[in-house]
Amino acid sequence: MTRETGTPERTDFGVLLRELRQQAGLALQELAEATGIGTRTLAALEDGHDAPRPSTVELMAAALRLPAPISETLWQVAHRRWLQSPGHRGRPA
C-alpha cells in the first residue's frame, strides 16, 4: 500500500486479492463463505489462472469491506486482468 493514499500498489489481480484477503484476516475458505464463491474459483483467481467477472469483484470488495479507493483499485486491476484473459469479447460478462 502506498503511504500517501492507502491504496494498494499491486497491479496483478491475484496478488492484490490475496494481499487484501490476508490483510482482512480471512482464510480463503472464509472469503468463499462470505461471498458464495467457491474456494477453487477464489484460489484460481489468486493464482492468476482465471479472470474475475464484475459481479465477482463486487462480492469480494463487499466481503473484504474495502474502502472506496481500494475497491476502485481492485476494480481497475480486475478489469486489466480481464482484458488480458484469452477469449474476452470486448466487455466483461
Q: CATH number of the domain at 23, please.
A: 1.10.260.40
Average pLDDT value for residue range 71-90: 82
The three cell numbers locating residue 67: 474502502
Q: What is the pTM of this model?
A: 0.80
Q: Answer yes or no: are the C-beta atoms of 57 and 63 closer than 8 Å.
A: no
Within-domain flag for 59: yes
Residue 78's pLDDT band (cuts 50, 70, 90): very high
Counting residues of the chain whose pLDDT is more than 90, the rounded percentage is 63
Within-domain flag for 71: yes
Distance CA 25, CA 20 (A): 9
Question: Where are the alpha helices (H) located in 1-90, listed in sequence order?
Answer: 13-23, 28-35, 39-46, 54-63, 68-84
Within-domain flag for 90: no
Report the domain count for the chain. Answer: 1
Question: Which of residues 7 and 33 earns the better pLDDT score?
Answer: 33
| Domain span including residue 18 | 13-84
Question: Which of residues 80 and 9 earns the better pLDDT score?
Answer: 80
Within-domain flag for 7: no
